[in-house]
Structure 1
């Protein structure tokens, strides 16, 4: 048998892409431990860069390996490797991974999505596969670390979340639990998805704080938000529903009075998005999605390395991400 194991992952036929071949053993053999970034369209992700900075500064011979795949069975086999330390889980797997895990943290259960797989070893030596959601920390810290006067910007004011997927659920949770907002407006092209978020939050005791903003007329009548979290891809609207979402957002951003802060969660392939430009043009503070990525990422390394965030090289991570951002054009 060859010392190099080649795993071929056949991506979905509709993407009409050639099979993605990962040569794993040649990478793993050089490492003390390895993890994965598991999801789709990972080529531009800065996650491996972020974690490589942490591991280098801690003197760890570790690496996060991109696994660009929709094959959950393959992933579940690969994580059984004795050198595996954990994984970043991204779209489209954040919800689908949940039934395969032995334990979920409180945030992971409450949000209903997992972006972090970590390991626990029981006294009998059994290995548990555990799920956490550090996206909520990324949202929280993006506002806490970047807004100088939260009391006047977003506290005791409504907030708004654009989208209704896993990232949007994390944003709703963070806004509700930590950021002292009054209501949370939900804006999304699909009413059924919003209804699902409201139903889930109702079972957890805070569904009454959510307001589905469905029309431009309704948006005009509502109090301006102080915090906005945008959790949608950076695509120009095409359908009528997408244009309605865009117009609602524009109404909210252009309201008179104290302007707030918007966290633009989309940073792939670029953090400089159309929504971010509209917000800036209306006088809003725009927080790039790479901020959320940094804070959720170092929180992941807390689970994987056993170090507290205060012991991790956060300043070096910020410097590395800033250098990468400098290479990305706003155009």
Structure 2
């Protein structure tokens, strides 16, 4: 997508009239500035969050649409007002959306129907628009577990989860489903206690990390994300050779936490794996077609290498 598209799509905030204008304006621009093949029958999708300027979802999903010959286009919308954004999805017939920080929990009240797993998790990251009826799903959980299970078993393992936001909720739910012994650490006490209570596990302040002898460490906070790439949720001397360390941050591809973990000899799981696998579920929910997984991962890795 062009810089002009990113600029216009990134302005979706403020009152509903402004949001509708920017979305309509963006649709007009993509018909003239985007890749060939866009026409009056093109289905529109997007990611809604704040911020989204770093998102690789557009380049990944658009490449996947092209690969299977699907008449769709995917944009990034910087959204502060989630109620107005969802109203825009209804009004303009946008076929689906990815939901990211900070709207994964608040968006639930705006939807018509939510799958049982997403209800239990308490967060939605996928919207599917079926004839004006908006359904909410959570693909973060399955995406994270698929990525983690490629490197380690979870059942019976001591798992330390850092963070208590929407992604942490999904991961925590998945860890419990897989039989892991989970502990939540978070900076904000209220959020950490709420998540721990919902999952039936214990919460501790993040600064108490040294109390725990974990086998799996998962960073579900934004610490280490571009542009603050030097940040780490725990210091390097906490890491041990027999640990599996997962970081859901995917930009940069190798966060400082993962760099230090590899130096220590830990098995590592980068954020790209979870990001791609959760997107695969979204893509298949929207299109009804099998996602080109290898292509999606290759596109993301190429974008991150620039």
TM-score range, shorter chain: 0.7 to 0.9
Offset at residue 191 of structure 1 (A) = 2.0
Q: Does 1:304 align with 2:286?
A: yes
Out of 287, 292, 295, the position equivalent to 2:274 is: 292
Q: Which residue of 1 aligns with 2:148?
A: 143
Offset at residue 112 of structure 1 (A) = 0.7
Q: Which residue of 2 aligns with 1:226?
A: 215
Flag the 1:246–1:34 CA change in 2: closer, same or farther, 3 A. Answer: same
For 1:54 and 1:225, the matched residues in 2 are separated by 38
For 1:303 and 1:65, the matched residues in 2 are separated by 17
2:95 partner SS: strand
Out of 187, 193, 196, the position equivalent to 2:194 is: 196
1:77 partner SS: helix
- Root-mean-square deviation over aligned CA pairs: 2.8
Q: Does 1:313 align with 2:292?
A: yes
Q: Which runs of 5+ in 1 are unaligned?
A: 1-5, 13-19, 122-126, 202-206, 237-241
Task: Write out per-residue CA displacement over residues 257-300 of structure 1, whole angstroms, 9 at most, x where no aligned residue.
Answer: x61322211123x2322222232232212211111110000100
TM-score (ref. length: structure 2): 0.81
Task: Write out per-residue CA displacement over residues 198-246 of structure 1, whole angstroms, 9 at most, x where no aligned residue.
Answer: 2222xxxxx0xx23344877734x4x3222221112259xxxxx99x63
Aligned length in residues: 279
Offset at residue 158 of structure 1 (A) = 0.8
For 1:82 and 1:217, the matched residues in 2 are separated by 48
Q: Which residue of 2 aligns with 1:119?
A: 129
Contact 2:95 2:130 in 1 (8 A): no
Contact 1:234 1:274 in 2 (8 A): no
1:131 partner SS: strand
TM-score (ref. length: structure 1): 0.76
Contact 2:246 2:268 in 1 (8 A): yes
Q: Which runs of 5+ in 2 are unaligned?
A: 1-7, 16-20, 32-37, 226-230
